[in-house]
């Protein structure tokens, strides 16, 4: 009896232990299987592509559209009115089947919810820039002034190659000369040795040292004078040699750059005068001549990696201090969904999910995306110019502080979207071509506590320096005080930073550049 009771007690303890383990495991399972409510953004492939296309520049966007058109047969260029009329006249005169086809197109009621044009297309199947109107009338091609765009300047290398093309040279000499030109940097200097240049020549051409020296002399004879030099001394010498013989002070200036350029750079004019055995007037005339030379002959040309920029928006006056933004018609791809295929596929749903239907979907999406892209650009551009209207009236000193977040709130977009819209987008204005991001930036405080745009402060510093007395130029401390007198509180180090960004020399350099005996020092 006792043994039985003991056994049953043992079984009960075991049962309780197992039950406790089951309950603990159940609690763990319930904890791991609980549901949590939350939200997350799931981006479709088309939405991801829309975001990617929005941040492309105009040229990149046009190239992307052309690539899609090359692979999608349901997209075709949109003809202009004159081209369409000419095509219709040709079809009427040469194609007897044109009338029956037109009659067939007229048969049958249109699809509900769709508005057809003459080609049987819905309005949102066409992208031609017709939606981008602002003001009281629609913008036409006559409103577009091509001079408002920015064309890339000719690079120094292109300029030299054009001149070399006019010379009568053998194929071998031309190849060697082109190699020398390719080795010249954007400043106009040949920084590589002739041995290094020889290694850059095309295969099969192993130039002799004399051939390289002749080619270099030919390059140095081209414009601008001084190009192809290997040192500042040689550069200035080439420019002086290009001057006519009777040029006053030419010989003395040549003597300075050939043998005494170090004394000129060290500002040791007393010793320089003794070495040259010349008068003060003669030294002054020579330094004036040297100041007229350029130590960087390639500075007036565009850099080798110059990129072409096309204005996305044209800013024009609308009267009474108002300015209006218009989309540049040149940057709008004029395309549509192919009318012939659209008519064949209209009303048919059997092919949904097939590659053909996906191409149709992509074609319609691209056309709509073009409209949406330029509508967004126009909204952001108009918001910018509404805020910066005084800039277009009075210039950089009237620039107001502005942030991406403020524009985002004004147009009802996310700040990241505004950032994409303003990236590599340009607007042509009567004051020049500016990137959208030019109208954003840091700001400084004023005496009244209101912010002031850093662009306006830099413009004011430029004006103060331009109006200063050359014999008593303004120091950074004095510039700081003058800004404070105008209500702008800014630290001296900030003034120095802005002055350096504007490439304005320091007060000491500006002072010496206005002294007669030190006229040439700033250039070197």
Quote the mean pLDDT of the chain: 75
Going by pLDDT thresholds of 50, 70 and 90, the confidence category of residue 375 is very high
CB 313 within 8 A of CB 425: yes
Separation in Å, CA 24 to CA 10, 12, 18, 60: 21, 18, 10, 62
Task: Give the mean model confidence (pLDDT) for residues 22-37.
Answer: 50
Going by pLDDT thresholds of 50, 70 and 90, the confidence category of residue 141 is very low
How does pLDDT run across 386-402, given as a tens digit for each residue? Answer: 988 888 888 887 788 88
How does pLDDT run across 298-322, given as a tens digit for each residue? Answer: 887 766 555 567 899 999 988 777 8
Predicted local confidence at residue 456, as pLDDT: 82
How does pLDDT run across 423-434, given as a tens digit for each residue? Answer: 889 999 888 888
Going by pLDDT thresholds of 50, 70 and 90, the confidence category of residue 12 is low
Lowest mean pLDDT among 74-78, 449-453, 492-496: 449-453
Predicted local confidence at residue 106, as pLDDT: 34
CA distance 398 to 385: 12
Q: Which of the pair, 370 or 44, is modelled with greater confidence?
A: 370
Q: Which of the pair, 15 or 69, is modelled with greater confidence?
A: 69
Going by pLDDT thresholds of 50, 70 and 90, the confidence category of residue 354 is low
Contacts of 336 (CB under 8 A, 6+ apart): 75, 76, 78, 119, 121, 125, 126, 127, 128, 367
End-to-end CA distance of the chain: 118
State yes or no: pLDDT of 196 exceeds 60: yes
CA 376, distance to chain mean position in Å, is: 19
Cα radius of gyration rounded to whole Å, the chain: 36
Cis? peptide before 500, omega within 30° of 0: no
Q: Which residues pair with 314 in a beta bridge?
A: 326, 428
CA distance 283 to 253: 9
Task: Give the mean model confidence (pLDDT) for residues 336-348.
Answer: 69
How does pLDDT run across 244-270, given as a tens digit for each residue? Answer: 878 888 889 899 888 888 887 777 888
CA distance 198 to 211: 10
pTM of the model: 0.53
Contacts of 130 (CB under 8 A, 6+ apart): 138
Predicted local confidence at residue 151, as pLDDT: 44
CA distance 380 to 405: 12
State yes or no: pLDDT of 83 exceeds 60: no
Going by pLDDT thresholds of 50, 70 and 90, the confidence category of residue 350 is low
Residue 116: phi and psi, rounded to 5, are -95, 145
Predicted local confidence at residue 1, as pLDDT: 44
CA distance 384 to 429: 13
Predicted local confidence at residue 321, as pLDDT: 78
Task: Give the mean model confidence (pLDDT) for residues 4-22.
Answer: 58
Minimal CA–CA distance to 148: which of 429, 414, 386? 429
Going by pLDDT thresholds of 50, 70 and 90, the confidence category of residue 128 is low
Predicted local confidence at residue 438, as pLDDT: 86
How does pLDDT run across 482-505, given as a tens digit for each residue? Answer: 888 888 888 888 888 888 878 788
Polymer length in residues for the chain = 524
Predicted local confidence at residue 86, as pLDDT: 56
For residues 474, 480, 484, 488, the Cα torsion angle rounded to the nearest 10 degrees is: 120
Going by pLDDT thresholds of 50, 70 and 90, the confidence category of residue 210 is very high
State yes or no: pLDDT of 26 exceeds 60: no
Lowest mean pLDDT among 110-114, 216-220, 407-411: 110-114
Q: Which of the pair, 120 or 189, is modelled with greater confidence?
A: 189
Q: How many CA atoms within 13 Å lie on the side-chain side of 478?
A: 10
Lowest mean pLDDT among 71-85, 138-152, 281-295, 318-332: 138-152
State yes or no: pLDDT of 330 exceeds 50: yes
């Amino acid at each position: 009896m006792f043994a039985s009771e003991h056994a049953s007690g043992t079984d009960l303890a075991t049962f309780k232990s197992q039950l406790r383990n089951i309950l603990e495991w159940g609690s763990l399972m319930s904890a791991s299987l609980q549901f949590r409510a939350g939200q997350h953004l799931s981006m479709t492939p088309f939405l991801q592509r829309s975001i990617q296309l929005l941040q492309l520049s105009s040229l990149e966007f046009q190239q992307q559209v052309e690539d899609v058109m090359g692979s999608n047969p349901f997209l075709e260029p949109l003809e202009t009115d004159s081209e369409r009329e000419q095509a219709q006249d040709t079809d009427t005169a040469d194609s007897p089947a044109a009338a029956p086809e037109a009659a067939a197109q007229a048969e049958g009621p249109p699809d509900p919810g769709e508005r057809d044009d003459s080609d049987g297309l819905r309005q949102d199947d066409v992208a031609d820039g017709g939606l981008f109107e602002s003001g009281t009338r629609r913008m036409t091609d006559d409103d577009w002034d091509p001079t408002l765009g920015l064309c890339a300047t000719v690079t120094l290398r292109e300029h030299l190659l054009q001149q070399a093309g006019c010379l009568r040279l053998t194929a071998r000499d031309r190849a060697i000369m082109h190699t020398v030109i390719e080795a010249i940097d954007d400043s106009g200097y040949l920084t590589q040795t002739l041995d290094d240049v020889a290694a850059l020549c095309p295969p099969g051409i192993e130039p002799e040292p004399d051939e390289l020296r002749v080619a270099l002399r030919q390059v140095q004879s081209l414009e601008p004078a001084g190009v192809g030099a290997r040192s500042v001394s040689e550069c200035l010498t080439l420019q002086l040699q290009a001057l006519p013989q009777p040029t006053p002070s030419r010989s003395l200036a040549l003597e300075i750059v050939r043998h005494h350029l170090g004394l000129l750079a060290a500002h040791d004019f007393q010793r320089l005068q003794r070495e040259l055995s010349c008068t003060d007037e003669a030294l002054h005339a020579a330094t004036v001549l040297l100041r007229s030379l350029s130590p960087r002959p390639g500075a007036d040309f565009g850099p080798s990696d110059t990129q072409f920029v096309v204005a996305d928006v044209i800013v024009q006056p609308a009267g009474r201090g108002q300015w209006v933004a218009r989309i540049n018609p040149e940057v709008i791809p004029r395309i549509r969904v192919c009318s012939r295929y659209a008519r064949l596929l209209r009303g048919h749903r059997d092919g949904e999910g097939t590659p053909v239907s996906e191409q149709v979907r992509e074609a319609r999406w691209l056309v709509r995306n073009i409209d949406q892209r330029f509508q967004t650009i126009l909204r952001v551009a108009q918001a910018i110019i509404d805020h910066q209207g005084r800039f277009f009236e009075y210039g950089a000193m009237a620039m107001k502080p502005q942030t991406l977040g403020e524009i985002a709130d004004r147009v009802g977009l996310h700040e990241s979207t505004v950032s994409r819209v303003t990236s590599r987008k340009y607007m042509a204005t009567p004051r020049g071509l500016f990137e959208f991001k030019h109208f954003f930036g840091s700001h400084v405080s004023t005496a009244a506590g209101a912010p002031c745009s850093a662009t306006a402060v830099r413009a004011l510093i430029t004006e103060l320096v331009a109006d200063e007395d050359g014999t008593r130029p303004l120091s950074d401390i004095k510039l700081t005080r003058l800004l404070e007198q105008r209500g702008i509180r800014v630290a001296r180090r900030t003034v120095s930073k802005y002055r350096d960004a504007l490439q304005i020399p320091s007060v000491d350099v500006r002072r010496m550049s206005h002294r007669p005996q030190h006229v040439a020092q700033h250039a070197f």
